[in-house]
Amino acid sequence: MNNDEKASDGNPGELKPDTDLPVDADTEGNISSPESAIQTMAEAAEIWTVSAMESAEPCDIIEIDEEAVDEVAEALADEKTKLIPGGEPEDIDEPRPDSTEDIETLGYSYPAPFTRWENFCDYRIWPFRAVGKLFFKQNGRSYVCSASSIGGCAIITAGHCVHAGNNSSNGWSTDVVFVPAYKDGSAPFGQWPARYSTTRVHWFRHGISKGLSEDIGGCVLRKQNGRKISQRVGWLGFAWNWSRNQHWLSHGYPAAPPFNGRRMQINAASYAYNGNVGANPAPVGMGNDLTGGSSGGPWIWKFGSGNHVNGVNSYRRSNKPQEMFSPYFGNAAKSLIDSLKKATC
């Protein structure tokens, strides 16, 4: 796989018919929604009152039939590894949380060990402030996922939070708004409407379950008071083509029972096993009990020091509630990040 994979143009345009989708120079690249399709009102932020945010349904963590996966599936990571650093916000000079120790394991069987806790820190402290809730509509219904700021005007989330994966231009989420550092209905840094959304063509075309290896997406957000989202809340770094043998802190806002979506939850776990959804590279699994609403929340590697996004909450297997898979972050994820970060607000 070529580490110099070309990223698609971050500027949205009219979609071609679904049988002739725009793609990158690679076989299957990124695809963006037309700006005209992303918002149904002039200002999407007007839709998301506190009542509307709290009544939004959790976008389910995808569940797939156990027979469709193979715990012992293997996929090789690319040899060359890369990092993009994160950055603190320009607006406020705040101390970083204490660094957490990076722990590596050789994998586990189900149920893999994990530790989960509610975030009791001040959400306005970086890097917590770079994580938030993503509100949107699909098929006329209001949903919520999780997402994080990754630089420029961009956020990253799960592909199924921005597109239904139904191979249709009608599958794009609408009225998309990011609320960083959300807590108990409050929006300390405001609501940030999306200009447009982007996902991988592989997810757009194939959805569940064949597209899960690239269930990643993101949005380019409009500026607020002349400021980019990354200037206001900072941004997380990005790590790709690294060994699967890592330890992550998965962040998100689970809203399905036993959670209510009002508080950020953090799950600490190490690499457990690979997923098998019929495509390489295979997804990465960890022990994790976060529920619907946490979809798209970042897997942060080297939290407190590097703060690199190295995965997102995507799916689990049916009847296995204590696991979570993320697409492996290789060249496909890097292409998506490049496309989002170079875009104009």
The two three-digit tokens of residue 111, written as one number: 């149920």
- Reading the block at residue 315, the tokens are 């799916």
Instruction: Please tell me the CATH code under which domain 36-341 is placed.
Output: 2.40.10.120
Does pLDDT of 246 surpass 80?
yes
Indicate whether 313 pLDDT > 90.
Answer: yes
Structure tokens of 292? Answer: 């619907």
Does position 228 have pLDDT exceeding 50, yes or no? Answer: yes
Residues 86 and 308: beta-carbon distance below 8 Å: yes
What pLDDT shows up at residue 9? 32
- pLDDT of residue 137 exceeding 50, the answer is yes
Cβ neighbours for 306, distance < 8 A, ≥ 6 positions apart: 83, 85, 86, 237, 239
Take residue 218 and report the two structure tokens written for it.
């993101």
Confidence of residue 39 (pLDDT cuts 50, 70, 90): low
pLDDT band (50, 70, 90) for residue 209: confident
Question: What mean pLDDT, rounded, does the chain reach?
Answer: 83
Q: What local confidence, expressed as pLDDT, does residue 345 receive? A: 86
Which pLDDT belongs to residue 282? Answer: 95
pLDDT band at 46 (very low <50, low <70, confident <90, very high): low
**pLDDT computed for residue 249 by the predictor:** 98
Question: Residue 343 and residue 258: Cα distance in Å, rounded?
Answer: 38
Peptide bond before residue 258 is cis, with ω within 30 degrees of 0: yes
Q: What percent of the chain has pLDDT over 70?
A: 79
Can you read off the two tokens belonging to residue 133? 């809730």
Q: Which of 29, 26, 31, 32 is nearest to 1 (CA)?
A: 26
Q: Does residue 172 or residue 59 have the better pLDDT?
A: 172
SS3 sequence of the chain? CCCCCCCCCCCCCCCCCCCCCCCCCCCCCEEECCHHHHCCCCCHHHCCCHHHHHHCEECCCEEECHHHCCCCCCCCCCCCCEEECCECCCCCCCCCCCCCCCCCCCCCCCCCCCEEEECCCCCCCCCHHHEEEEEEEECCEEEEEEEEEEECCEEEECHHHHECCCCCHHHECEEEEEEECCECCECCCCCEEEEEEEEEHHHHHHCCCCCHHHCCEEEEECCECCECHHHHHCECEEEECCCCCCEEEEEECCCCCCCCCCCCEEEEEEEEEECCCCCCCCCEEECCCCCCCCCCCEEEECCCCCCEEEEECCEEECCCCCCEEECCCCHHHHHHHHHHHCCCC
pLDDT tens column, 61-101: 778 775 544 433 333 334 456 778 888 787 665 544 444 34
**Residue-wise burial string across 100-132, b where 16 or more C-beta atoms lie within 10 A, e elsewhere:** eeeeeeeebeeebebebeeeeeebbebbbbbbb
Q: What is the pLDDT of residues 165-191, one digit of tens each?
A: 999 999 999 999 999 999 999 999 999
What is the pTM (predicted TM-score) of this model? 0.80
